[in-house]
Amino acid sequence: MKTIIVPLDFSETSLNAAHYAAHLYKGKEDITLILYHYYAEGEDHLTAENYLQSLQKELLLHIPNTITHLESGESFIDRLAAFAHIKRPIMIIMGLLGKTPMEQRFSGTNTLKIAEKNICPILVIPPQAIFKKINNVLITSEMKAVEETPVLLEVKNVLNEFKPSVHILNINSDHYISVTDDYKEERDKMQVLLADFNPEFYFMRLWDFHESINLFSADKDIDMIIIAPKYHSFFEKLFKTQHTKTLLYQSQIPVLVIHE
């Protein structure tokens, strides 16, 4: 069985992520969906348990193997990471934002802290995202030192799950009229490594990274964006700067974070 974990604080954002997850893997009998809730000292865990059970009944209609897990501890990040280490999920699917102190556990900072734990891919669901079949996936790539890596294997696992059309985008200020031989060489390597998915390659001159991603995604009707440090070193900076929230908050499309 493959395991998916959905952290919940019962905000609209996290509930939307849970429903997205249920539709994403709807009808797959090899999937166990775990609805996870962490409660801090003094919080009403009995009410949370009732909420979990109610949501479980609803999502069982989509994924027969839907279970719940409720726990407490000193740190949401540490408890979720420890739980994930035990369950070894193929993906954590979670929302973003949150207005109350409890909901703020799902801020961009905490989402990336989970990703930094290097447990598994994290799929971040925008607040207003409505599930659509994953027909088109965008992968951002620097086209440098392309090789077979654990990150690439994780990407392949996701692509094998949904069988989408694959669009690989390189955004760089060096691009002018034609692509250099170095980029062509790396493109050819990636073409071989992802040959099973018949990827299409695109090169854009950098103006604004976030705007370029958004424009490309709209033009190609992208359903999921995949970003990983091996594919885009810009992403490494996202963990340490305000650009993190800009990227995740601006995107209207689910973003899959695969951290090495």
Q: Are residues 182 and 148 in the same domain?
A: yes
With contact defined as beta carbons under 8 Å apart, do 165 and 138 qualify?
Answer: no
DSSP reduced 3-state for 134: coil
Q: Are residues 120 and 140 in the same domain?
A: no
Segment 124-166, tens digit of pLDDT:
998 888 898 999 999 887 766 567 677 788 889 999 999 999 9
Q: Output the domain CATH number for residue 98.
A: 3.40.50.620
Confidence of residue 101 (pLDDT cuts 50, 70, 90): low
Q: Which of 124, 153, 179 is the last residue of a domain?
A: 124
Q: For residue 242, is it within any domain?
A: yes
Q: Which of 100, 124, 148 is the last residue of a domain?
A: 124
| Predicted local confidence at residue 99, as pLDDT | 46
Q: For residue 142, is it within any domain?
A: yes
Q: Are residues 214 and 109 in the same domain?
A: no
DSSP reduced 3-state for 35: strand
Q: Are residues 140 and 201 in the same domain?
A: yes
Segment 185-231, tens digit of pLDDT:
888 888 888 999 999 998 877 666 677 788 889 999 999 998 865 55
Structural domains in the chain (count): 2
Q: For residue 131, is it within any domain?
A: no
| Predicted local confidence at residue 189, as pLDDT | 86
- The rounded Cα 166 to chain-centroid distance in angstroms is 16
Q: For residue 130, is it within any domain?
A: no
DSSP reduced 3-state for 102: coil
| Predicted local confidence at residue 239, as pLDDT | 46
Confidence of residue 89 (pLDDT cuts 50, 70, 90): very high
| Predicted local confidence at residue 32, as pLDDT | 97
Q: For residue 148, is it within any domain?
A: yes
Greatest mean pLDDT among 103-107, 194-198, 230-234 lies in 194-198
**CB burial class (10 A; 0-12, 13-18, 19+) of residue 156?**
middle
Q: Are residues 224 and 249 in the same domain?
A: yes
Concatenating the DSSP letter of every residue in 176-243 gives SSS--HHHHHHHHHHHHHTGGG--EEEEEE-S-HHHHHHHHHHHTT-SEEEE-TTT-THHHHHTTSTH
Distance between CA atoms of residues 56 and 230, nearest Å: 36
Domain range spanning residue 80? 2-124
| Predicted local confidence at residue 141, as pLDDT | 77
Q: Are residues 84 and 45 in the same domain?
A: yes
Q: Are residues 6 and 103 in the same domain?
A: yes
Q: What sign does the CA torsion over 74, 76, 81, 87 have?
A: positive
Q: Are residues 117 and 157 in the same domain?
A: no
